[in-house]
Chain A
């Protein structure tokens, strides 16, 4: 018997018991819907972390000064001024795993452009900084080497600052005053979005490191060329942990620390932290999907239950079909197709529920959800597999009936 005829028989049988079929399908509908929604929720969390990693720059480590003790009082992190520009260049030069490292110093101040003013973060950087952070310039240009060496009064503007000061107008070549010093904006940075701490990374203005030191923040120990932070980008494919150890070794050597003495700096492996977060959000997705799968499984048991009832109810029909020439295989196929039809229709409706569910969660709970086509395919494939798995036992039971007993069944 061909599949089309079998399918028609199955659909007719399902139509005869409409309410029962729909209720049975409901288990699969809810199961598939739940799986898709939960994977979308987990996927949303994952996508968010992935985006943060991207905005941070890949394979990023930062080195900040350690704490100092002043008269027995331990001050917090970064209280010491132990890092120098030369540390950064040494790291680039001597640690093989490092692609590039960039010294920077950080402060804040009022920026004035025409009638507008805005308080923001001012960072003194070298051109390497943009490379470390994977931060392209969308319009204008970066710093020229001689602007860095000669403390040129040029600045790169973050998108949030540009919006505050210039609205939608192009900020490039505009004049601003940073801490009352006139600067020319030579370029605008690409949008980065929120950092993992929820800070707006675009609320920033970059100036050359020398300019920051000489013209904006003052220079208490100019000869040593202190910097606030050294950002390090490790080469792709290198072990971050090993790179961290090498950098620590080099820094201890440069800072002439005795064995056993505490580091006077801290290395933060930001990418690693985020990767841990990413891994945990993956686990979360898996967990959510697993919990949702349980409802799919329960739906499958519902199908098995109804198919068993159906086989019993239709024993005489089975007997008759056998009497007029149905082989055991034909009967098996008939009930299997019925179960799979039930679960597949349920699966398709479940997709609709899953789409609706993840949209609703995005809308009302404000969570980010990300629907993946794979999860849809997976859920429907799973539904079909459940139909086959849970439909097989009742179908086999039907196909093994003796035609005589089936015909005589009351």
Chain B
């Protein structure tokens, strides 16, 4: 357990709504090893997004501890959290969140800009990442000129640019059709096979089935935590995509 990449102990997050305190998380202890592929599931209001924000260092817990790669996160200041997000974590969002009217290359470079990497190195690394996600010929395109799948792949390239220890994807296929969803999941599975730790939040069972482990949230608590019995292989499903019925 000491070697776990993510280790949370009794995480509590409370919000003040009016004069009432509402607990979004009520004591969550989870440990995620390196190179795992975890899908966090649960209905809306279950606390899964709050959990995601906490392990993504976007927010601090009210109580409890969070250790990421041996570093005690719950004690850090805002700027230190920003540095952790910059260096250790890659985010993928449902709405892609690419900067409009900005080339794919510049979008991918963005985290390096805040990491203080010199311009020449930024270009070099961003080009390499874009090539890895199969967008070598789309570098100068603006998000509006890219398809949904291409935009999400650009976002994944951006998430990967700083060689993070963790990819956090919040409903990464929520805005995509089923075929491009498969493409994106195939990419995430490939990254995981290469050793990357991936955590996704989803409410779709068939998307969760691409992960190796599912964690279910309800009312701010973990109610179920199990390995996936039959893992879907996105790449294999893509190969069958010649028959449209295969893509459910």
Contact = CB atoms under 8 A, between A and B. Distances in A.
Given A1-B114, A2-B116, A5-B113, A324 B85 contact: yes
A322 B97 CA distance: 12
Contacts of B119: 5
A404 interface: yes
Contacts of A1: 113-114, 116
Nearest to A9: B113
B99 A317 contact: yes
B97 A320 contact: yes
B72 to A, nearest CB: 19
Interface string A73-100: 0000000000000000000000000000
Given A320-B99, A330-B114, A325 B59 contact: no
B82 A326 contact: yes
Interface string B89-112: 001010101010110000000110
Contacts of A319: 97
In this complex, the interface size class of chain A, counting residues with CB under 8 Å from chain B, is: 20 to 34
Given A12-B102, A324-B91, A324-B158, A407 B114 contact: no
Given A317-B99, A320-B99, A407-B93, A326 B114 contact: yes
Interface residues of B, number: 27
A3 interface: no
A162 interface: no
A323 B91 contact: yes
A326 B81 CA distance: 10
A328 B80 CA distance: 11
B195 interface: no
B134 interface: no
Interface string B111-128: 101111001000000000
A404 B58 CA distance: 6
B78 A327 contact: yes
Contacts of A323: 56, 58, 85, 91, 97
B180 interface: no
Residue from A16, A319, A322, A403 with most neighbouring chain B CB atoms (10 Å): A403
A324 B53 contact: no
Given A2-B116, A407-B93, A325 B99 contact: no
A329 interface: yes
Contacts of A316: 95, 97
Interface in A396-410: 402-404, 407
A320 B82 CA distance: 11
A321 interface: yes
Contacts of A12: 101-102
B197 interface: no
Contacts of A325: 82-83, 85-87, 111, 114-115, 162
Nearest to B102: A12
Nearest to A2: B116
Interface of A: 1-2, 5, 12, 16, 316-317, 319-330, 402-404, 407
Nearest to B158: A324
A325 B87 CA distance: 8
B116 A324 contact: no
12 contacts: A5-B113, A12-B102, A320-B93, A323-B58, A323-B91, A325-B82, A325-B85, A325-B86, A325-B162, A327-B83, A328-B79, A403-B59
B79 A324 contact: no
A324 B114 contact: yes
Nearest to A330: B114
B99 A404 contact: no
A366 B158 CA distance: 63
Nearest to A324: B111
A330 B85 CA distance: 14
Contacts of B115: 325
Nearest to A408: B49
Nearest to B116: A1
A347 B213 CA distance: 60
Nearest to B98: A320
Given A325-B162, A327-B83, 16 more contacts: A1-B113, A12-B101, A12-B102, A316-B97, A320-B97, A320-B99, A321-B110, A323-B58, A324-B86, A325-B82, A325-B86, A325-B111, A326-B82, A327-B78, A328-B79, A407-B93
B14 to A, nearest CB: 15
A105 to B, nearest CB: 83
A327 B59 contact: no
B196 to A, nearest CB: 17
A321 B58 contact: no
A322 to B, nearest CB: 7
Contacts of B101: 12, 16
